[in-house]
């Protein structure tokens, strides 16, 4: 990425992922804006901006992961503060967009919380959203403002291609459920290997049961691909099934968002998964880090995207991450 003067840009961070915000700022050669995000004694969130943002292009970096509601409110209040401080434009950089799985009515009287969150972020005063790997692509349409949607798969695919070398025939990409088939198919095309699918029936929330394996994984090294790992039930059940029923040699899992809630860590520890490759869109606490985890950075991609948005350049070429790695964009 070219070094440029960003005289009219301000980068700010809330509390969800300050390390990622600092990495992005360092790559861009700018300082993070001076702001304090804290809580009053009664739990209300307090935001103070300690420098002028008048007529500036402001980028607020905040994932809305755990604690989801606190992080969402921090973002909303900072967006409102920027609007009232006469910022020229307000860009919400949300590497992980919480509530994304509540994107439709699965049963009668369900809310569509992903749409509600889009509405309140827009109402707060955001002019643009920059995010990565929404759970469903159609969530982009929930916003009435521009959404730049980055894809994490090319980063994961670049890592796997380097690991595979010239042995692509030994590998197969497996979708852990029917909802991830398109994502897995695209991933398989990127790294040049076959595709298999696990047909899973979910009995209730956060509990999954593996049913059938569609495709051939016998004697293969399996790459399980999903957009996130939450409780890891789907992933671990898929890994066990693909080895026991499918005859796979070993299993590597790739996912963008490391939500890792509830029993996820224990399940991954006990699972036959050899390696879990994740992106750092949300921070992983030290007590949840495992030797199995390989964490890849997203800061270079977000830094490039922010520069392109600021410079009025297209963001879509970043999806060709292999060219991005070679500096060809």
What residues act catalytically? 200
Q: Which of 278, 311, 230 is nearest to 132 (CA)?
A: 278
CA atoms within 13 A on the CB side of 156: 33
What is the Cα–Cα distance from 163 to 278, expressed in whole angstroms? Answer: 15
Q: Which two tokens stand for residue 208?
A: 């999954």
Of 269, 289, 267, the C-alpha closest to 278 is 289
DSSP class of residue 152 equals S
Cα 188 to Cα 196: distance, rounded to the nearest angstrom: 10
260-277 as b/e: b if 16+ CB within 10 A: beeebbebbeebebebbb
Q: How far, in Å, CA of 290 to CA of 26, rounded?
A: 27
70: tokens are 């606190």
Phi/psi of residue 92, each to 5°? Answer: -90, 115
């Amino acid at each position: 990425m070219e070094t440029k003067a960003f005289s009219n840009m301000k980068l700010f961070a809330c509390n969800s992922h300050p390390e990622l915000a600092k990495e992005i700022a360092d790559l861009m050669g700018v300082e993070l804006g001076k702001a304090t995000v804290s809580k009053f004694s009664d739990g209300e969130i307090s935001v103070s901006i300690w420098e002028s943002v008048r007529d500036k292009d402001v980028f607020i970096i905040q994932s809305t992961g755990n604690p989801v509601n606190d992080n969402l409110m921090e973002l909303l209040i900072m967006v409102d503060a920027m609007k009232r401080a006469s910022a020229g434009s307000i860009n919400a950089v949300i590497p992980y967009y919480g509530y994304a799985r509540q994107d439709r009515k699965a049963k009668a009287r369900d809310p569509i919380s992903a749409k509600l969150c889009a509405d309140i972020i827009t109402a707060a005063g955001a002019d643009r959203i920059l995010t990565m790997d929404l759970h469903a692509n159609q969530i982009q349409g929930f916003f009435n403002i521009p959404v730049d949607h980055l894809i994490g798969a090319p980063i994961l695919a670049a890592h796997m291609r380097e690991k595979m070398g010239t042995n692509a025939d030994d590998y197969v990409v497996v979708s852990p459920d029917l909802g991830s088939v398109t994502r897995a198919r695209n991933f398989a095309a990127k790294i040049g290997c076959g595709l298999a699918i696990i047909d899973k029936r979910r009995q209730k929330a956060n509990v999954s049961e593996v049913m059938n394996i569609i495709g051939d994984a016998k004697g293969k090294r399996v790459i399980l691909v999903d957009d996130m790992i939450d409780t890891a039930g789907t992933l671990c059940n898929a890994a066990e099934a693909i080895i026991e029923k499918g005859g796979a040699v070993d299993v590597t899992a790739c996912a963008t968002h490391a939500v890792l809630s509830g029993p996820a860590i224990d399940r991954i520890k006990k699972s036959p998964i050899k390696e879990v490759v994740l992106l750092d869109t949300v921070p992983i606490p030290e007590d949840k880090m495992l030797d199995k985890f390989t964490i890849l950075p997203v800061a270079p991609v977000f830094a490039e995207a922010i520069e392109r948005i600021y410079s009025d350049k297209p963001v879509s070429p970043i999806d060709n991450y292999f060219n991005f790695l070679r500096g060809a964009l």
